[in-house]
Amino acid sequence: MQNLISDPVSMTSCRQEAYLLRLRRQFPFVYVKTLTRTAFGRSVYALQFGSGSRKILITAGHHANETITSDAVWQWLFAFCNALMDGGAVCGASARELYHNAMVYLVPLVNPDGADLAAGVCALESPEYRAAASIAARYPDIPFPSGWKANLRGVDLNLNYPARWEAARRIKKAQGVSTPAPRDFAGFSPLDQPETAALAAFTRCIHPDMMLALHTQGSVIYPGPDETAPPGSHALARAFSEASGYPIEPVPPESANAGFKDWFLQVFKRPAFTIEAGLGENPLPASQLPEITRAFSAIFTAAMQW
Ligand SMILES: [Zn+2]
């Protein structure tokens, strides 16, 4: 198991099951809940730990070829739990103090179907691979499967939320995408996918005080649009930027529709941030995992001190 953790390849649903097994054995105080099963039968999990009253929701892996962020979340979680057990520190802060200050909800891999496809572990003769390949054939300019962002029904999950969803659909249609595709298809209606419906329902249940949406790439932090920024957003963004070294940038208006963060800001009016980790072309190489884990660790620590 140790090898599997320290020798990362692309994140897969199978790797996540191995991480869960290790978590249950070593750190049973982390509560694990299955949010839903995907169209092709993979589980989407939420993890919960902490004893504080500030609720922080962290989501990773909406996009199939950005799941290095999912692995980084798991690496951080194990490092944090180890520090907690040993009475140690994370980014200079006592793990126990962080634990008592916050309640953390993690959804480390929102799109396990897409993750397996992009990682190249779906069997070539399987119905799911063939369905994806026939969608991809209409988009010869997008590398397959490494350029795949959607779930295996060809829906871009981060365009499937009911927050200016019609605008997202219109913009993407004007760019040539109006049916299932490797990326940029918003779905036939908002929340028509099990992954997004379950995450939205779960989020309404827990009512988080803050949300972090993890993506690649750019090494940059996007708060909500200035005009809708909830109280505290600017100070938090500055704290995350100082901790991680990632600069803060304004969100391009054409990219502020139908995403999970857009929906969260609209419904809860509480601070929410997109973190675009790492640099290069997606999928980022595993060699960036330590750096991305470092940046997340710094940001999560600042969030738990909030
Ligand atoms: Zn993304």
What distance in angstroms lies between residue 280's CA and the mean position of ligand 1's atoms?
A: 13
Please, are residues 83 and 11 in contact by the beta-carbon 8 Å criterion? no
Mean pLDDT of the chain: 95
Give dist(CA 44, CA 30) in Å, integer.
16
Average pLDDT estimate for 61-79: 97
Average pLDDT estimate for 249-275: 93
Considering the entire predicted model, what is its pTM? 0.96
Per-residue pLDDT tens digits for 105-124: 999 999 999 999 999 999 99
At 6 the pLDDT is 40
- Count how many Cα atoms sit within 13 Å of the Cα of residue 206 in the half-sphere of its side chain: 27
At 251 the pLDDT is 86
Average pLDDT estimate for 26-42: 98
Average pLDDT estimate for 186-192: 98
At 254 the pLDDT is 80
Indicate the domain borders of the chain: 2-114+192-305
Please, are residues 109 and 67 in contact by the beta-carbon 8 Å criterion? yes
Q: Which of 145, 131, 129, 143 has the alpha carbon at shortest distance from 180? A: 131
Per-residue pLDDT tens digits for 281-291: 999 999 999 99
Per-residue pLDDT tens digits for 260-270: 999 999 999 99
The answer, yes or no, to whether the previous bond of 145 is cis (omega within 30 of 0) is yes
Average pLDDT estimate for 54-63: 98
Q: State the fold for domain 2-114+192-305.
A: Aminopeptidase (3.40.630)
How confident is residue 9, by pLDDT bands cut at 50, 70 and 90? low
pLDDT at 259 over 90: yes
What distance in angstroms lies between residue 250's CA and the mean position of ligand 1's atoms?
A: 16
Average pLDDT estimate for 192-197: 98
Instruction: Specify the pairing of strand 93-94 against strand 43-50.
Output: unpaired
Annotation marks residue 281 as catalytic: no
What distance in angstroms lies between residue 242's CA and the mean position of ligand 1's atoms?
A: 23
What distance in angstroms lies between residue 87's CA and the mean position of ligand 1's atoms?
A: 35
Average pLDDT estimate for 10-34: 97
What distance in angstroms lies between residue 3's CA and the mean position of ligand 1's atoms?
A: 28
Q: Which of 17, 276, 281, 291 is catalytic?
A: 276
At 1 the pLDDT is 35
At 253 the pLDDT is 81
DSSP β-bridge partners for residue 215: 276
Give dist(CA 26, CA 46) in Å, integer.
18
Tokens representing residue 127 in the block? 């119905």
How confident is residue 2, by pLDDT bands cut at 50, 70 and 90? very low
Neighbours of 46 (CB within 10 A): 22
pLDDT at 170 over 90: yes
What distance in angstroms lies between residue 62's CA and the mean position of ligand 1's atoms?
A: 6
pLDDT at 15 over 70: yes
Per-residue pLDDT tens digits for 80-91: 999 999 999 999
DSSP β-bridge partners for residue 275: 214, 221
Neighbours of 190 (CB within 10 A): 22
Give dist(CA 36, CA 127) in Å, integer.
21
What distance in angstroms lies between residue 276's CA and the mean position of ligand 1's atoms?
A: 8
Return all residues near 151 (Cβ < 8 A) that are at least 6 apart.
38, 39, 64, 111, 113, 114, 157, 193, 195
What distance in angstroms lies between residue 236's CA and the mean position of ligand 1's atoms?
A: 21
How confident is residue 226, by pLDDT bands cut at 50, 70 and 90? confident
Q: Return the DSSP state at 67.
A: T
